[in-house]
Amino acid sequence: MESRRELYAILNIPPEASDEEIRKAYRQWAQIYHPDKYQDPQLKDVATENFQKIRDAYEILSDENKRLIYDVYGMEGLNSGYELGTKLNKPEEIKEELERLRRRKEEEKIFAHFWPSGSLLAKFLFRTLLKHQISPFASIELMATAGLRALVNVQASRQLSQHSFATSGLAISLRDGSINLSMPGLRQMSETTVGSIKLVLGVESSISVGWQKKDEKTSAAGDLKFGTTSIGVSAHYTHHFLQGLMVGLLVVEWKVPFLSYH
């Protein structure tokens, strides 16, 4: 049963969450872990991995059929390729169809033993993640990465109000001993607009304020950053004239390094 709650835990929602609660949780966590918000390469890698997990969880839980399969058989059912018909309405019919699919997959596994095949995949990378939910509004997360990028990262998150969220993260590199402290905060200003502020202390300390707006046809974002070595401004604008077709894109970035005199 625990494996069938993992996707809900990633979005920090109960298994009985409504579709609207799933959408709100996805928007909230996607804003926090979006890779574009992180400049440090190591933190960006961690954020990218978390963002992918959040997006994968949302894609499954927001799909009615996939969510039903996941609730009954977990990720094993989804990875086995179970598909529900469109004419199934009653829960009993859905469960019967899932059971039929499960038996069929088991038979395929038995026949597959007559044609054994295999592959070996080696990766010089190991990640472990420990997350503890302190309360419905706060959590602490410990992540360790070993390999080419040896890193220990501790991150605490808390919902300050209905529309405000803050995170504190401490990353320690096991290779060079460098320490980075990041404290991003988000404020949902409207249904489509989010404001952010972020303080980073470490090898390249900085403070930045940002703004992001996204709706069905347009997405825009701006960022003003003051660092110990430079000051920068960036703006992004995208307009979709047709669904699935992007025909307008404007990106403006400006960065001025500070000069030091000896």
Going from N- to C-terminal start, the domains of the chain cover: 2-61+125-257, 64-112
Token pair for residue 112?
């597959």
At 140, the pLDDT band (50, 70, 90 cuts) reads low
Give the residue, 121 or 67, on which the prediction is more confident.
Answer: 67
pLDDT over 50 at 183, yes or no: yes
Token pair for residue 50?
């978390």
pTM comes to 0.43
Please state, for a pLDDT cut of 90, what percent of the chain lies above it.
5
CATH code for residues 2-61+125-257: 1.10.287.110
pLDDT over 70 at 59, yes or no: yes
Give the residue, 181 or 102, on which the prediction is more confident.
Answer: 181
**pLDDT tens track for 15-54:** 888 899 899 989 888 888 888 887 777 777 888 888 999 9
pLDDT at 246: 44
CA distances from 122 to 118, 126, 130, 131, 133 (A): 13, 11, 24, 26, 33
How far apart, in whole angstroms, are the C-alpha atoms of residue 98 and residue 142?
Answer: 37
How far apart, in whole angstroms, are the C-alpha atoms of residue 158 and residue 28?
Answer: 12
Give the residue, 82 or 106, on which the prediction is more confident.
Answer: 106
At 257, the pLDDT band (50, 70, 90 cuts) reads low
